[in-house]
Amino acid sequence: MSGVIRKNANNLSVCVKSHNKMDQYDVTIIGGGSAGLVLAVAGAKLGKTVALVEKHRLGGDCLWTGCVPSKAILKAAKVANYVKEAGRFGIRVDDAQVDFDQVMAHVTSAQEAIKSEHDNPERFREMGVDVIFGEGQFDGTGKFVVKDREEAQMRSLTSKKFVIATGSRPAIPAIPGLESGGYLHSENVWDLKELPSRLLVIGAGPIGIELGQAFHRLGSEVTIVQRGNRILPKEDNEVSERMLNYLREEGITILLNTCPVEVGNREQASVDQNRCDDPPSGRCSVRLETAGEDRSLEVDQILIAVGRRPNVEGLGLDTAGVEVERSGICVNKRLRTTANNIFAAGDVVGHYLFTHVAAFQAAQIVRNMFFPGSSAIDYSVVPWTTFCDPEVARCGMTEAEARAKHGKIDVFSVDLRDVDRAVSDGETRGFVKVIATRWTGKILGVHLVCPGAGEVIHEFVLAMKEGIPLRKLSGMIHVYPTYSSIVWRVAGKWLAEGKLVQTLRNVVSAARRNKIETSK
């Protein structure tokens, strides 16, 4: 059996065997994103033989095109905005400039730091994971055939269990002229060499709102178009309305109930969209339709942000007996596919397209694959955050959903203008809204719009997961002044406005009046 020399994490040369026969594993993971990496680490620590197949690079969408780069550019944009507004804090900043090359270098440095520390292939190999770079497909339910790029040979991987964690990719709408004109999406936007003067964002979900605000703050003239009648359509109505106002106040143009119907030719020749390192160049016109009326918009770049599609093509899923629907691979509550020995996790199953949910699903699969019995996954408490400014965080039901399911409910809100830390920081845009059961104060849903909302929400998440009512949250000591004190403030409203407390007060007041009347 031949061997190849690789460097390990300590830069020491080690011999890694080159497989020229069928490889056998306890579990083979297809996809090296969040779910795949969690599974690989867990399997290795449990002493299982693990193969991890990744067609490109470890880290997945989160590291290379999603969470990490978007948060890095959002931080740069927030700093730019702080500089722009420094005067309201009594600080004079003259001739501030945005160096877009350095902004993108900051994005890349964040990615490389996380890659070298956490997502380095050699880190996993040292744990005992066989990391294989290449594309492959199932050959029946027990074999996955992959072309190993590093060893330049085909490998047949047999495994007791398989996990499909191939993620998702941007969905591209069928707009005449879009393909020929060229466009950006959440994968190739990071290869921009110049800041677009005029940017059109198609889609007002989390990706569109985050990147639209970021590019606006860095200096682009941004227009966001949304087919529906509100932005962030999965959020509570009040959250969508507030954020719409905040973004428009910043100077971002947002067109609702608007459809792009045609993209014109660019002034310069467009490029091959398959080359992510070379985004399209030259201005183009886009024809928009709003309430039956057409308008034309001249832009430098078009950013598509209308959703994502599961990566299921080319895997030979039909030969493995794995059923697929439009949203992704079909799995049961234990994340098992229609093939008994094949599981799936992450974006490819289409439930919640979040990195933290993918990791949560992976942990559940570990439980169901390697331990006695099995456990159904519980999605009753799933938090998420849109990292615009202010941040938007949610867990549980919207007010409309809660009323539809529970009928009469209690709703408590606190505006950020009533939070001392927000006033001190000059960050008073936002609010917290809690939906609870009418009598017991059990939390049904939480909606936060505030700085650091993605951090603050976790106290509510714990309360919802463990059934802690608002009454108990109101009795906890919170540090002053913090944004987290908003939890104590809104929980305290249960004592002042909750239906149970009001009813008890009315009973006591009636008893007192009756006693007074009797004593007369």
pLDDT tens readout for residues 9-32: 444 333 344 444 458 999 999 999
Q: Which two tokens stand for residue 472?
A: 């108990």
pLDDT at 76 over 70: yes
Flag whether pLDDT at 141 surpasses 70.
yes
Beta strands in 175-300 (DSSP E): 198-202, 221-225, 253-255, 258-263, 284-290, 293-299
CA dist., res. 171 & res. 289, Å (int): 21
* Whether residue 390 has a cis bond before it, omega within 30° of 0: yes
Separation of alpha carbons 220 and 214, rounded Å: 9
pTM score of the predicted model: 0.90
Contact criterion met (CB below 8 Å) for 183 and 303: yes
pLDDT at position 117 is: 86
Which distant-in-sequence residues (6+ apart) come within 8 Å of 373 by Cβ? none
Structure tokens at 338: 């229609």
State the chain's mean pLDDT as an integer.
91
CB 470 within 8 A of CB 494: yes
Sign of the four-CA dihedral 499, 505, 507, 510: negative
What contacts 277, CB < 8 A, 6 or more positions away? Answer: 188, 191
For strands 50-54 and 23-30, give the pairing: parallel
* Residue 434: band (very low, low, confident or very high) from pLDDT cuts 50, 70, 90: very high
Least confident among 31-40, 219-228, 287-296: 287-296
